[in-house]
Structure 1
Amino acid sequence: MTPLSFTHLHLSSIATTDLILEGHHAGNNLRNALANVMRYATCPETHRRGAPSAEHAATCPACWLLAAEADPGSVSRAYAVEPPRRPIDRVRAGQRFSFGLTLFGDGFRFLPYVVLAAAEMGRVGIGPGRREGLGRFSLEAIHAHNPLTGETHLLLAPGDPVVRVLPAAVTLDHATAQAATLAHCLERDGQLLRIDFLSPTRLEEKDNLYKIPDFAVFFGRLLWRIDDLALNFCGGARRDPDEVAGLRRAAERVRLIESNTRWVEMWSWSGRKQDRTPIGGFVGRAVYRADDWTPLLPWLILGQGTHVGKTPVKGNGVYEIATLESGYWSLNIGLGHPVSAGR
């Protein structure tokens, strides 16, 4: 069992000027805007040179959430960005759009700062052209949503300055409960599992880059990410090596039956490296088959909320189990009207 829990925030917005999201670059643009706003609005040492001290990072929301150097050797963050579910190049002024933000474990304690930063992002703008007045939007509402139970809470209402701290946390128990439904669907479909990779997914293992959705590599990186998030932000412990080996053997027995994916080449500027970093990956649908999915299903279901592969913080590695009729990320509607308040 893993103590990993996380809360998905759904941010409903309306563009007040034209806004350039650049399709699959949207996650990177949204993350950069969020990071910049949090640093200058929250951190008293915004113009500091070098990494933050451990003492400072422990109390500063921006550095705790954003700075890898606060935890040497770790590349995980306590948050991840979800770009619009379908890639959007440009949002016209007056159009509604939405995006997501996930807070893992202890990251939820900084919810009020994240909400303030999201509103400020709309004021200063995101994406190309923001210095020329583009990229502005008004934050209309924020919902916390658990896709596995349907639980939804309105955290910020239109025109209301009060943020309600009501998590709708996703846990392994919820994923395990849905595993029976997925198993039934797989039996009906001849044990064929369909996965949609919604944002560029970059899988690397032992210095090798995989440009096809190899299941064993995909699942291995997914299991590592789930365990790393649980260890860093939820008080978890290292998984028993025998359990890891058993799950990896089960994953190696899965076969890739069909791959309708394509590679998207993308780059991002790294302030730490002072150079461009490749963040491209594959998108599209893959179909897999296994004789026994049972040990893998809870982790595949849970992992939809964690992303997989490189740079999940920038919106990469978002996937969805297409075999299920109700899509995990269906609430992140991209363009359209905000969701209702729900429960």
Structure 2
Amino acid sequence: MDNFTAHRLRFVTEVQSIIELNEHQGSAIRGSLFHALRGQFCTYRQASECADCPLVATCPVAILVSTLKPGDRRGRDVPRPYTVQPPLPGRSGHPFELPGGRIVFRYKPGERFEFGLTVYAQALQLFPYVVLTVHRLEQTGIGRRTEQADGRWRRGTFVVQEVWAENPLTGERQPVMRAGDNLVQVPDVPITHAQVCKYAGEHIAQHASHITLHFLTPTRIVERGHLLKPHGFRFQPLFQRLMGRLESLSRDFSDTPLVFDDPRGLIEAAGRVRVVENRLVWEELRSYSTRRRAGSPTSGLMGSVTLVADDWSLFLPWLVWGQFTHVGKDAVKGNGWYRVGWRMENEGWRMKRMENGE
């Protein structure tokens, strides 16, 4: 885990023509990135998916658009090495109800449209493809086809104004690209394991007694075939899923895979973490795959839950990491994004926002 890094990018764009995104905005952004990557870089369109492509071993973007990693011993079912950080409701976009009650978020010409993308470890070498893909979206558009000002139906468009690399743990920000630039800077403010451990250690040293998890996007945790719902929330299955995600990301995209010293003991300790305040709700959502021509549930936990543990040092470094890796189903689409807050002993509530300016 020592060499595992996360590179958080923020894309700041200006809307050129009306953009409408489905209620699950992260799914819409990820879907647009998928089609733009495949449309621009796929050289063997006859294959219905990457697994059937004879060129997959030399394809530079297969691991971005599929769960394949050419040359990896596992081959299939590796996690995708990035997550989307979608716009959060109430902070941008205008909720709009379509006939039938369906909600979309609308962005008008001249408004700002921002989203984040976090790329992990060795996948940073694919960053130039990501930038080229976002530029392609300037032309092809994003979201639903809507009637535009000229009366034609097409996807809305934007122009990239700025791209920033950001490290919320250190407060560093690096301009990667600005409108009119001919050169793109490689992101160089990584979130590292050493920074995570230092950050977690500082707050453990301050005797944090309670921790609050704020779920910003639907978080879908499955335990033994059953969904973890608000009324029955327990910390253990959430933390167990997080352990698995950190292990798989570090194994597949870094040369220092995470190996927990006593995973069984850690899971048992997670079972002793207690819920003291539960403000969780269940948000029903579905996303639609144009590739599969089918919808799939992306519902999950939203809201916040406050927890107490005898020793947070066992869990806090991994919870800090989870803010950047997300946890649970559909993380690549932006699901499972959360932030950590805490209460200091005898000092009331303190909240640490993990995003600059929020």
Relative to the length of structure 1, the TM-score reads 0.88
Q: Given the alignment of the two structures, is residue 146 of structure 1 paired with residue 167 of structure 2, yes or no?
A: yes
Q: Given the alignment of the two structures, is residue 215 of structure 1 paired with residue 235 of structure 2, yes or no?
A: yes
Deviation at 1:37, TM superposition (A): 0.4
CA deviations on 1:24-60 (whole Å, 9 max, x unpaired) are: x110000000000010111112342343468733432
Answer yes or no: is the 8 Å Cα contact 1:58–1:64 preserved in 2: no
Q: What stretches of structure 1 of length at least 5 have no aligned partner? A: 334-343
Deviation at 1:274, TM superposition (A): 5.5
Report the counterpart of residue 20 of structure 2 in structure 1.
Answer: 20
- Secondary structure (helix, strand or coil) at the match of 2:236 reads helix
Equivalences for residues 321-340 of structure 1 within 5 A: 321-323=340-342, 325-330=351-356
Greater fraction strand: 2
Picking from 62, 87, 105, the partner of 2:121 is 105
Report the counterpart of residue 139 of structure 2 in structure 1.
Answer: 123
- Secondary structure (helix, strand or coil) at the match of 1:118 reads helix
Deviation at 1:264, TM superposition (A): 1.4
Report the counterpart of residue 183 of structure 2 in structure 1.
Answer: 162
Q: What stretches of structure 2 of length at least 5 have no aligned partner? A: 94-104, 148-152, 343-349
Report the counterpart of residue 202 of structure 2 in structure 1.
Answer: 181
The number of residue pairs the alignment matches comes to 327
Picking from 293, 297, 301, the partner of 1:278 is 297
Equivalences for residues 14-163 of structure 1 within 5 A: 14-23=14-23, 25-52=24-51, 56-70=55-69, 72-86=75-89, 88=93, 89-129=105-145, 132-163=153-184
Residues 149, 59 of structure 1: CA spacing in aligned structure 2 closer, same or farther, 3 A cutoff? Answer: farther
Report the counterpart of residue 341 of structure 1 in structure 2.
Answer: none
- Secondary structure (helix, strand or coil) at the match of 1:9 reads strand
- Secondary structure (helix, strand or coil) at the match of 1:68 reads coil
Residues 151, 238 of structure 1: CA spacing in aligned structure 2 closer, same or farther, 3 A cutoff? Answer: closer
CA distance in 2, matches of 1:57, 1:102: 24
Q: Given the alignment of the two structures, is residue 239 of structure 1 paired with residue 242 of structure 2, yes or no?
A: no
Deviation at 1:301, TM superposition (A): 0.8
Deviation at 1:246, TM superposition (A): 2.5
Q: Given the alignment of the two structures, is residue 257 of structure 1 paired with residue 276 of structure 2, yes or no?
A: yes
Amino acid in the other structure paired with 1:257: V
Q: Given the alignment of the two structures, is residue 195 of structure 1 paired with residue 213 of structure 2, yes or no?
A: yes
Residues 238, 255 of structure 1: CA spacing in aligned structure 2 closer, same or farther, 3 A cutoff? Answer: same
Please say which of residues 270-279 and 294-303 is displaced more in the overlay.
270-279
Amino acid in the other structure paired with 1:303: G
Deviation at 1:124, TM superposition (A): 1.4
Equivalences for residues 264-303 of structure 1 within 5 A: 264-270=283-289, 275-303=294-322
CA distance in 1, matches of 2:113, 2:26: 14
- Secondary structure (helix, strand or coil) at the match of 1:239 reads coil
Please say which of residues 304-313 and 122-131 is displaced more in the overlay.
122-131
Please say which of residues 207-216 and 301-310 is displaced more in the overlay.
207-216
Please say which of residues 51-60 and 99-108 is displaced more in the overlay.
51-60
Answer yes or no: is the 8 Å Cα contact 2:229–2:301 preserved in 1: yes
CA distance in 2, matches of 1:10, 1:85: 14
CA distance in 2, matches of 1:6, 1:19: 29
Report the counterpart of residue 328 of structure 2 in structure 1.
Answer: 309
Report the counterpart of residue 6 of structure 1 in structure 2.
Answer: 6
Amino acid in the other structure paired with 2:295: R
CA distance in 1, matches of 2:272, 2:54: 46
Please say which of residues 305-314 and 274-283 is displaced more in the overlay.
274-283
- Secondary structure (helix, strand or coil) at the match of 1:291 reads coil
Amino acid in the other structure paired with 1:91: Y
CA deviations on 1:160-203 (whole Å, 9 max, x unpaired) are: 1211113221121111111133225553xxx1111110001000
Pairwise CA RMSD of aligned residues? 2.3
- Secondary structure (helix, strand or coil) at the match of 1:178 reads helix
Relative to the length of structure 2, the TM-score reads 0.84
- Secondary structure (helix, strand or coil) at the match of 1:6 reads strand
Identity over aligned pairs, percent: 32
